[in-house]
Amino acid sequence: MKTWASFMSKTHTPVELKNIDSLSRNASTIQSRSCSNELEVGTKNANCDMKLERSGDDNSDDVSESDKIYMACIMQGRRVGVAYFNTSSSEMFVMDVCEEDWELPTIQLVKYQIQPTVIFTSTKMDDQFVKCLQEKFHDDIEAPQVKLVKSSMFSYHQAKHRLEYLQVRGVRSDLNQKERVHVLNSMINFGSEMQVRASGGLLAILQQEMLDNHGAIDGEYTQIKSILELSLKGFLHVDAITHDALQIFQIDKHASLMGIGKTKEGFSVFGMLNKCVTVMGRRLLRLWFLRPILDMNVINDRLDTIQILKAATDMTEALQDSLRHVKDIPRLIKSVGALWQIRGIFEVETSQRHDHQIEFTQLHIVGKVFSAIGDDLAHVGHLITGVLDFDQSCGENLETIVAYGLCEELDKLKTLYKGLPDFLNKVTDLEMKNISEDISEYQVSTVYVPQVGYFLRLMGNLEESVAERFPYLELAFVAETAEGKECFYRTHRTLELDKVLGDLYHKILDMERAILRNLAANIEEYTQTLESAAKVAAEIDCVTALAIAARDYGYVRPDLREDDVLIIENGRHVLQEMTANRYVPNDTHITKEGRINIVTGPNYSGKSIYAKQVALITFLAHIGSFVPADKAIIGIQDRIFTRVASKETVGISQSSFMIDLNQISVMLRHSTSRSLCLIDEFGKGTLTSDGIGLLCATLLEFASRKSPPKVLACTHFSEIFDENNLPKVGSWIQSAKLRNSLCTAGWSF
């Protein structure tokens, strides 16, 4: 049993890659060849004027040829795939992230951490993405080289094929191709399209770079010792499997039969805590959930803000009332007044005396508000309010926003257009005086058709004998409507209206557009001010939403510590307590002792819910939210692993049992002492004896480590407590301290 777990936890699996030295020698220059797969991006690019190639007199020669880092990065929608290869350590790292900000802050952080020599991307990437890749990640460090390669290099199927046929050392040579893929799947997530495309594409690019000028490949070999998943410093790593297992997000498709239509957030943790009232706030809160942080200063600042807002009901209501009028970036100019109201709320709050234990003025969010919503934004507000009026009325079918009093000529046109219906009724009366009673049975009116002109409209076709008596009626066109036939005639008066009034509708629109273009030119220099104010508004929306959720659901502030502990009193599950008539809370106590805990009990006793609630409380603490418990002391974690649910699909040629094995393999391979591991009913997909053996081997592997991770293993296998299956290692503790018929047993070290 221990042999199996040890085999699955090995992290150094060499992969053969030929002639990497050739790549190192040729990486210092970028050449554009008509027969090459690469394109140079330089000053000739009309949309991207920054030079990507390093100058010849830089310090690139000082960098060791054996210490190069080659990175591949692609983007589809908001998903970004990253892979990089380090020539000094012979390791490849892969990751995929969701970027909501076009400045790509996560990619900039990756660049800063790894400091790539060359970045490869597809020729199909847009200029904005390429420009972000070429930007300096630090003032003192030269910008990396960026090379565009043909998009077929990053084809999913070709990339997956390259990865599947990697020659991996450290694995038994008698394994077939399918079995090797299962082992590789513990190193790289084949279910992540962006990871596969980035890493497989990088392999193809490296092999292409290995070709010498004669098209030959050097016979030397350099080994890739391992393929690892990149974890960003400063972020709690939570993968898609854990998101699904903990029900952090849940997308509900449209109710139509074909699922066509907009999706919505279902019954999920994000859905429960999302009390945001702006689009920007919802987007930012989702980003917080996707990337929990490890910076205790930032987390505690969020908690301080939530603690004050939780107690200040009037303030949260006032903030949300103002935030409802804050629009997204394209329509932000309508929101300047609402942003200024938010500043006013903070000014009132800072001027009053408070009984808060935390000084309100010391919160970072307060400084951000007064910095972002300042004199520049006030100037923009004066420009906008002097030009725009969103509440004005100017007749039917015409929405105008330029305020009255700005342009005298425009005001006259608006006044004419607003009184046009009454004026045309008078024109109709004059026309009727020239028409005999022969057409009195028809409905007659004078109408204005934008871009066409003015007409005398008759409901019904005028008889020819009658029409001959009125030669000045010139038929323009006939329209068929649901009410019958409409005939449009030109008369002397309608022709005169065309000359005197003209096309009022489009005259007004053209003049307003010219005024708006002038306004846009005047506030263009304040674009950064508007964006900064929008970001602050989004952050206020997020912390306000979390404060309202904490108040509504009875959450408490967690105590974040650097110590590697996890202590929870009367913890509850975020979602389960909303659906159960009576929820039984439970405690958790993991310190330096009791690192590995086995949770047992009968079916439907809440084993899985208990394990998930511990993970969710830990997760919420790392986004800076209050948590469902009476008390929570949370040590900073680096990753949350789950072996809870197996999502089966015909797109993956794996049984549910093999999926379980792969999840455990990833857990064994990547977990550290700062990780939290959830194992729920592992071994149920095979024979009972084999399942017990696999579970015991996994627990023994964790127990054999000098600093094991925090493990919660839920099982109904009572046989594991047999000393023949699970020897008593260290100090064995067994107690029935959990409520609702649950029992825990654990090791202490």
Q: State residue 402's pLDDT score.
A: 81
Q: What residues contact residue 377 under an 8 Å CB cut-off, 6+ apart?
A: 336, 339, 340, 526, 529, 530, 533
Average pLDDT, the chain: 78
Q: Which residue has the higher pLDDT, 618 or 190?
A: 618
pLDDT digits 0-9 by tens, 347-384: 888 877 555 556 788 888 998 999 888 888 888 888 87
Q: What residues contact residue 397 under an 8 Å CB cut-off, 6+ apart?
A: none
559-737: CATH topology:
Rossmann fold (3.40.50)
With 60 as the cut, is the pLDDT of residue 13 above it?
no
Identify the band that residue 466 occupies on the pLDDT scale cut at 50, 70 and 90. low
Q: Per mean pLDDT, which range of 127-131, 223-227, 320-324 is the poorest?
A: 223-227
CATH 3.40.50.300 domain locations along the chain: 559-737
- Please report which helix (H) or strand (E) contains residue 691, including its range: helix 688-703
Q: What residues contact residue 294 under an 8 Å CB cut-off, 6+ apart?
A: 233, 234, 235, 236, 622, 636, 637, 638
Q: State residue 619's pLDDT score.
A: 96
| Integer Cα distance of 117 and 104 in angstroms | 19
| Integer Cα distance of 662 and 648 in angstroms | 13
Query: Can you tell me the mean pLDDT for 430-448?
Result: 73
Which one of 3.40.50.300, 1.10.3720.10, 3.30.420.110, 3.40.50.460 gives the CATH number of domain 69-229?
Answer: 3.30.420.110
* Percent of the chain clearing pLDDT 90 (strictly above): 22
CATH number at 408-508: 1.10.1420.10
Q: State residue 441's pLDDT score.
A: 64
Nearest Cα to Cα of residue 743 among 590, 544, 546, 599: 599
Largest CA distance in the chain: 115
* Percent of the chain clearing pLDDT 70 (strictly above): 76
With 80 as the cut, is the pLDDT of residue 21 above it?
no
End-to-end CA distance of the chain: give it in Å, rounded.
22
Query: Can you tell me the mean pLDDT for 422-442?
Result: 75
CATH 1.10.1420.10 domain locations along the chain: 236-256+263-395+527-553, 408-508
Identify the band that residue 55 occupies on the pLDDT scale cut at 50, 70 and 90. very low
Which one of 1.10.1420.10, 1.10.3720.10, 3.40.250.10, 3.40.50.800 gives the CATH number of domain 236-256+263-395+527-553?
Answer: 1.10.1420.10
Helices (H), 291-388: 296-311, 313-323, 336-351, 364-372, 375-387
Q: State residue 174's pLDDT score.
A: 73
CA distances from 420 to 268, 392, 413, 694 (A): 55, 17, 10, 84
pLDDT digits 0-9 by tens, 181-225: 777 777 777 878 898 999 899 988 888 776 543 344 443 334 567
| Pairing label, strands 15-18, 221-224 | antiparallel
| Integer Cα distance of 51 and 149 in angstroms | 17
Identify the band that residue 661 occupies on the pLDDT scale cut at 50, 70 and 90. confident
CATH 3.30.420.110 domain locations along the chain: 69-229
Query: Can you tell me the mean pLDDT for 122-146?
Result: 82
Q: Per mean pLDDT, which range of 135-139, 146-150, 366-370, 372-376 is the poorest?
A: 135-139
- Report the interhelical angle of 408-418 vs 504-523 (nearest 10°): 140
With 90 as the cut, is the pLDDT of residue 273 above it?
yes
With 90 as the cut, is the pLDDT of residue 545 above it?
yes
Q: State residue 187's pLDDT score.
A: 76
Burial of 329 (0-12, 13-18, 19+ CB in 10 A): middle
Q: State residue 114's pLDDT score.
A: 80
Query: What is the 8-class DSSP label of residue 639?
Result: E
